[in-house]
Amino acid sequence: IMVIFFFGATVSNLLMLRFMPIKRPGRIFLMMQLSRVVIIGLLFIRPDWWLLALVMLAWGLNMGMTTTLARTIVQESAAPAFRARILSVYSLGLLGSAPIGALLLGTIVEAFGTLNALLPAMFVSVALFLYGTLGTGIWSYRSPQVD
């Protein structure tokens, strides 16, 4: 499962190298949030092995794109004089959130079961999409590297 997931993430990064810079990375980032709901929903129904492999590949593609696009938007949005500092805080936030997320997810899995722990992730992805489209300028963000 992990090999399939990371293969998808690697493929997505190779594809993005080919097509970068992307004109509207914020839109793709937000659409990845919605597509993640479908991916997690498919995992929730306990698919057969062949479909599970395809879903994990799709999840790897999704997460590879999401991670790269988030960094891209942060880098492009930061003023050049502060870019390194902003990226260091961004990276620190990612590193610091992993243990907190693992603790929270472990608690949810223990209390509700492995499959039921997928449900909050679906709601969080929808919430991120809605917040990103309605509460921020991410949807309309244009890469300064294009045109």
Tell me the range of 10-24, 46-60, 132-146 where mean pLDDT is highest: 46-60
Q: What is the sign of the dihedral through the CA atoms of 59, 61, 66 and 68?
A: positive
Name the percent of the chain lying above pLDDT 70.
99
Confidence band, pLDDT 50/70/90 cuts, at residue 65: very high
**Once rounded to an integer, what is the mean pLDDT over residues 91-105?**
89
Q: How far apart are CA 131 and CA 133, in angstroms?
A: 6
pLDDT on residue 145? 79
**Once rounded to an integer, what is the mean pLDDT over residues 3-25?**
92
Q: What are phi and psi of 79, to 5 degrees?
A: -65, 140
Residue 82, class by beta-carbon neighbours within 10 Å (0-12 exposed, 13-18 middle, 19+ buried)?
exposed
Q: Which residues does 92 contact at the CB level (< 8 Å), separation at least 6?
A: none
**Once rounded to an integer, what is the mean pLDDT over residues 81-98?**
90
